[in-house]
Structure 1
């Protein structure tokens, strides 16, 4: 995919008046929240505690909410952990794999139906607060591993959400993923251009005191900063290539 400059990176047109943004605390969703806020949307942030190993990401989502002076709801979904077994993110018996994000081993990090579950909650929130859009931070690098980050899923989910909430959603309601055809490096470039404090984001799936530096999301994070030629403020426990 050709690189997309920060000035050309596609956002939502027209800009939603009020959007519920699913914010994990990671780089993609954080940049999305900042970009929509700076574009003029009123943003309501929504995060989910689904028993993830790296739940410290929620603290970073709270930092974004504070910085944007935005409402922030953390939804307790820990009751469903029992049905999410088999994923390295929710099952202590499965190790978080090291290596490149697109390697087959990264399939161990798939949480069954995660985006659909979180989007359902976000759409419900949008109905209750009268928002005209829900946004999430899927990007092109997610496509090989996560089926619920692909364009076909976005189209199908938006249609289902409208049908499920007919007569309750605002006119023209949308489910949007502005970065779905963009690379992680594109997102870093945009975040740098609009002043996102990357040190206040969390990517590591292992959830230690520092980014491990070796899991798929850490490898992807390092690469994105390098490709974008933006200084990486992240403190990693391991040097590149060390596991």
Structure 2
């Protein structure tokens, strides 16, 4: 399965990129610069692409990221200590982040004849991130099936969600 992997450069997405490379045909890594505080991870995504010998593209969506301000992931707000399930962790939510990035990834995947987009959302994120839940994955897949109907059939591969 020809697969484009979304890769932030963090542990989850780098491990997913290696898994996709081992189990499928990894066509490239796609990263997004949305003004996140941990931009250094983008360098790790580039290193991952080098090791896996695939192209790496960084899409600048900084203007969108600035509009989604107020999160500890994008602004100078302290990330609270605690478990993902705690209400205090809601400050780390960047509204609709995964939907925005996945929509772009699906467009690029369709343009380059990929069969899947891989994303590393995981079960531990369910508590506070609505766009990391199984219901989101299913709904997003349905939306993309309709958006690309007659043009491309692309699967959202998110093996860490369940």
Relative to the length of structure 2, the TM-score reads: 0.95
2:7 aligns with 23
Q: TM-score of the superposition, structure 1-length normalised? A: 0.64
Unaligned runs of 5+ in 1: 1-15, 182-243
Contact 2:5 2:26 in 1 (8 A): no
Which has more strand, going by share of residues?
2
Aligned-pair Cα RMSD in Å: 1.2
For residues 145-185 of structure 1, give each alpha carbon's deviation from its aligned partner in whole angstroms, at most 9, with x where no partner exists. 11100000000001101111222214xx211201111xxxx
Of residues 58, 61, 67 in structure 1, which corresponds to 2:51?
A: 67
Structure 2 contact 8–45 (Cα < 8 Å) conserved: yes
User: Is the counterpart of residue 84 in structure 1 residue 74 in structure 2?
Assistant: no
User: Which among 127, 140, 158 is matched to residue 123 of structure 2?
Assistant: 140
Gap regions ≥5 residues in structure 2:
none
Q: How many residues align?
A: 162
Residue from 119, 123, 127 that aligns with 2:110: 127
Distance 1:106 1:128 in 2: 37
Alignment partner, residue 221 of structure 1: none
Over residues 111-170 of structure 1, what are the superposed CA-to-partner deviations in whole Å (9 max), with x where a residue is unaligned? 010000110110011011100011101111111111100000000001101111222214
How much has 1:81 moved relative to structure 2?
2.7
In the TM superposition, residue 39 of structure 1 has moved relative to its aligned partner by 1.1
Q: Larger C-alpha radius of gyration, 1 or 2?
A: 1
- CA distance in 2 between partners of 1:124 and 1:40 (Å): 20
Alignment match of 1:158 (pick from 141, 149, 152)? 141
